[in-house]
Structure 1
Amino acid sequence: MSTATGSEEPRPWTAARFEVVLRDLLTAAGSDPASTATFAEAGYTSSRYGLRLALPAGAVVYLQIIAARPPDGRSDEQGPPPPQLRAAALPGRGRTAMTAVERYLISVLTARQDPYVRWVEPLSALGGSIPYGLRITFHSGAIVCCYVAHALPSASSGSVPGTRFPSIQHI
């Protein structure tokens, strides 16, 4: 996740930098660049940092990116990379399970085997107040969260296009 520019080392745990990193990783993993846009590019003004992802089946997911905790200053910034997860490709038609979106994003993040990242967890497994998204823990002690802030179903899902998804579990 690091590409040094000059003598300055980027901090992947800032929301702005993580937005760039995740977008680059999605593109490198084969996502169509046109299917991924920053919130600013998409005109989504509910949050400053995040990505709009158009899924292969036509649904759209908005991932809000928040730097939840800064580095603790006591830990090394780098260490062993997180365990790599391989996930099935997202379906090309029909409804998509939100847990499948989480697994896909985790596979994209862990495939890089980045030494800054310690662990990537799906929010659905944590039982918190935000049901879907990711929590990325860095070796530095910093945490970045990607919350599913909004989602729109595909036209083939039987929902009215442009409305919020009818089920929190599938879009």
Structure 2
Amino acid sequence: RHTYFPTPGETTLHEPHPKGYEREEADGPLIDYTTMDMSMGWAAGALVSTNSDLNRFYTALLDGRLLPPAQLTQMRTTVPAEARGPGVRYGLGLTSTPLSCGGVYWGHGGTALGYRTRGGVTEDGRAAGIAVTTAPTGAASQRVEAAVDTALCR
């Protein structure tokens, strides 16, 4: 309901939204990136969505309601992707991320100037999505990942 692929040149978001900020330097001023042409990301990140729509999508995908079983199996066939975090594995457009309470969650985060999303769905259907309006680095980035873990392990 709230997901779309922006057209080239489109610089505003369709619905109410938070502003997204970045710093060029660690101690530099915040720069507002809210109005920018997201079509530049094309298939690598131009999609605009909400956490609710993303949770609904990943739930339907992993429940087998969107693809034939063989295709979903291919998506869930993964290789190590430790650069994304300890124990993270990457398949065809899906990551599996270990949970502190056991098991994994499946999804695919996104990062654009001013915004970062993380989240996904567990094997038993629990879903969580986190969106932040500055791209955190270092310890702050780890707290975003930890927030998803906390939400899914409670």
**TM-score, normalising length from structure 1?**
0.30
The structure showing larger relative contact order (alpha-carbon pairs under 8 Å, at least 6 residues apart) is: 1
- Judging by fraction of residues, say which structure has more helix: 2
**TM-score, normalising length from structure 2?**
0.32
